[in-house]
Amino acid sequence: MSAATAPINTFTITAPDDWHIHLRDGQALATTVPHAAANFRRAICMPNLVPPVKTAADAIAYRERILAQVPNDSISQQFEPLMTLYLTESLTAEDIEAAVDSGVVKAVKLYPAGATTNSADGVSHINRCTDVFAKMEALGLPLLVHGEVTHHHIDIFDREKRFIDEVMVNLIDKFPKLKIVFEHITTSDAADFVLSQGKNVAATITPQHLLFNRNHLLVGGVKPHFYCLPILKRQSHQKVLLDVATSGNPKFFIGTDSAPHATHTKENACGCAGCYSASIALPLYAQAFDSVGKLDKLEGFTSIHGAKFYGLPTNSDKVTLVREAWQVPEHYPYLDGKNLTPLMAGQTLDWKVMPFDLAV
């Protein structure tokens, strides 16, 4: 085998960020925060708590609870939680000004009411939020969008496409300069839509939507730990997501949507939606990029594009990945004597992350 075709067995990239993560609150933070802090330099923290993070004061208080759980080691101590507000129909333009002035709120999250976990307080009538969107557009505060309609008569596999047609098109038409992140896209329709828009519209993609499709969820019996929202789609959509993620296009970047649920709440008759990947996300993404021979595009996706979209500096730290088979833990301790099962629990991954090299 020539040197030109020899497989890559080790490579070093700029330390990654996670532009979409769920850390939860209370006792859950004792598990989720150390995982996030060990693997990411920064993370956009979702606001769908109970009660939700609705004000700058809420965001500041939540940030302090997160920081209190960061381990006291040189790697984790660099972790910076970036806060978001939960968009409700009662949010005001003044709330947006206060959020920006706080210095800790970096975005506002739009959940259609009933779309996913803890979204009951979300938006039912988006036209009631026009003043908020106008103020966000003026101040450059990004809107993070869970892009699914929630009408019961719409097939769950079609909800992202319908959201584009019914909501996104009109939103961008009314607010053409609003910075928007179309979160955890799952379809070729969403990828094409983002590509068709200006540089103020970007998208995050999860590891599960790059590695799996609905066959992994459904064939041979329902696999609850592959169940997430938006739900896994056809293999043809998975292929398009891999194409755009590995293309080097700065519109697409990492957002794990890592979402912890105790194992017993996933493995029951009405299992919770969400895949937990915070502890293993970079090896998962490396596996996906390696599967199409695009490891050279991983750094941009995980470490460069998102920072530039948010107007933040890229990290100075480095992290090294090595091609070394290892087994994902079956579970982690979680809450009071319960377990948390990660994505691909007990399975073998080909890539392992070495510690951050803080001297580089």
Q: Catalytic positions, please?
A: 257
Find tokens 């609850």 and name the residue.
Answer: 224
Six-digit token string for 138: 């003026």
Cβ-contact 146, 110 below 8 angstroms = yes
Strand partners, 351: 323
Residue labelled with tokens 């330390």? 15
Instruction: Tell me if 151 is assigned to a ligand binding site.
Output: no
Phi/psi at 14 (nearest 5 deg)?
-60, 140
Q: Is 110 annotated as a binding residue?
A: no
Check the annotation: does 349 bind a ligand.
no
**Is 153 annotated as belonging to a binding site?**
no
Distance CA 301, CA 241 (A): 12
Distance in Å from the first CA to the final CA of the chain: 32
Strands (E), the chain: 10-14, 18-21, 42-45, 80-86, 105-110, 143-145, 180-182, 201-205, 252-254, 318-327, 332-334, 338-340, 348-353
289, with CB counted inside 10 A (0-12, 13-18, 19+), is buried
User: In this structure, are residues 143 and 108 in contact, taking their beta carbons and an 8 Å threshold?
Assistant: yes
Closest by Cα among 189, 197, 274, 168 to 233: 189
Q: What is the DSSP letter of 357?
A: B
Of 230, 260, 204, 202, nearest to 48 (Cα)?
A: 260
Contact 56, 293 (CB under 8 A): no
Task: For residue 41, say whether it is annotated as part of any ligand binding site.
Answer: no
57 is in an annotated binding site: no
Q: Output the known binding site for substrate.
A: 22-24, 48, 146, 229, 261, 273
Q: Output the known binding site.
A: 20, 22-24, 48, 109, 146, 184, 229, 257, 261, 273
Q: Output the known binding site for Zn(2+).
A: 20, 22, 109, 146, 184, 257
